[in-house]
Amino acid sequence: MKVLVLGGGQIARAVGATAPSEHQTIARARSELDIVDAGAVMRTVAEIKPDWVVNAAAYTAVDLAEDQAAQAYAVNDAAVASMVQAAAQQGCRLVHLSTDFVFDGNSNRAYLTTDQTGPLSVYGASKLGGEHKVLELCCAPPGYMPPWARISC
Ligand SMILES: NC(=O)c1ccc[n+]([C@@H]2O[C@H](COP(=O)([O-])OP(=O)(O)OC[C@H]3O[C@@H](n4cnc5c(N)ncnc54)[C@H](OP(=O)(O)O)[C@@H]3O)[C@@H](O)[C@H]2O)c1
């Protein structure tokens, strides 16, 4: 199994360090692939032809995101759209990570993936936007491509 891991942070390093040896993991940190560059994402996935893409790349500076909303949305929301399209075109599977920041924090129990979202921060809202990109395309009928996913290399 060939696994392309995007990003070079905590999760990306943990995936690389714990992947069973029978699987080939190929890491692409930001210096090698900026996920905001939709064409580069498409080309990389087409060249590597992974079985799985793990999206561990994200704008995670929660406080800074309040003043850098455009950057947060570019990485956490818009870039996910091209990643979904690249994975769909290549026929590989995509692992995309959520965060507790998509919720409002008022629950007195552990959140479920089916719970109502309600982000209170730019970071949380941008992450939720990315999740919607994944859900919209993954739940779409065969052949459907939403307008935001029509990207050419
Ligand atoms: N770690 C946790 O406990 C936790 C909890 C909940 C959710 N998550 C989710 O897990 C995912 C990964 O989080 P993490 O903890 O590993 O974060 P992290 O340590 O901050 O790593 C994020 C990585 O993304 C890279 N990145 C940022 N912008 C990029 C871009 N435009 N192109 C390519 N790479 C880019 C960063 O590169 P630079 O270092 O160069 O900026 C960094 O290597 C995120 O989606 C996060 O929401 C993590």
pTM: 0.92
Atom of ligand 1 nearest to the CA of 56: 12
The set of protein residues with a Cβ atom below 6 angstroms from ligand 1 is 7-12, 29-30, 34-36, 56-60, 75, 97, 99, 127
Distance from C-alpha of 101 to C-alpha of 45, rounded to nearest angstrom: 29
Cα-to-centroid distance, 142 and ligand 1 (Å): 31
Determine the pLDDT at residue 141: 57
Q: What CATH code is carried by the domain that includes residue 123?
A: 3.40.50.720
Domain count along the chain: 1
d(CA 44, CA 21): 23
| Ligand 1 centroid – CA 4 distance (Å) | 15
Q: State the pLDDT at residue 43.
A: 97
Task: Write out the residue range of the structural domain in which residue 49 sits.
Answer: 2-149
| Nearest residue by C-alpha to atom 24 in ligand 1 | 57
Kindly write down the DSSP assignment for every residue of 109-142, as one continuous string: S---TTSPP---SHHHHHHHHHHHHHHHHHTSPT
Cα separation, 145 vs 128, in Å, equals 20
Closest Cα to atom 4, ligand 1: which residue? 99
Give the residue ranges of the chain where pLDDT is below 50. Answer: 150-153
| Candidate of 11, 68, 71 to mutate for ligand 1, largest count of ligand atoms within 8 Å of Cβ | 11
Atom 6 of ligand 1, nearest CA residue: 99
Q: Which residues are catalytic?
A: 123
**Atom 5, ligand 1: which residue's CA is nearest?**
99
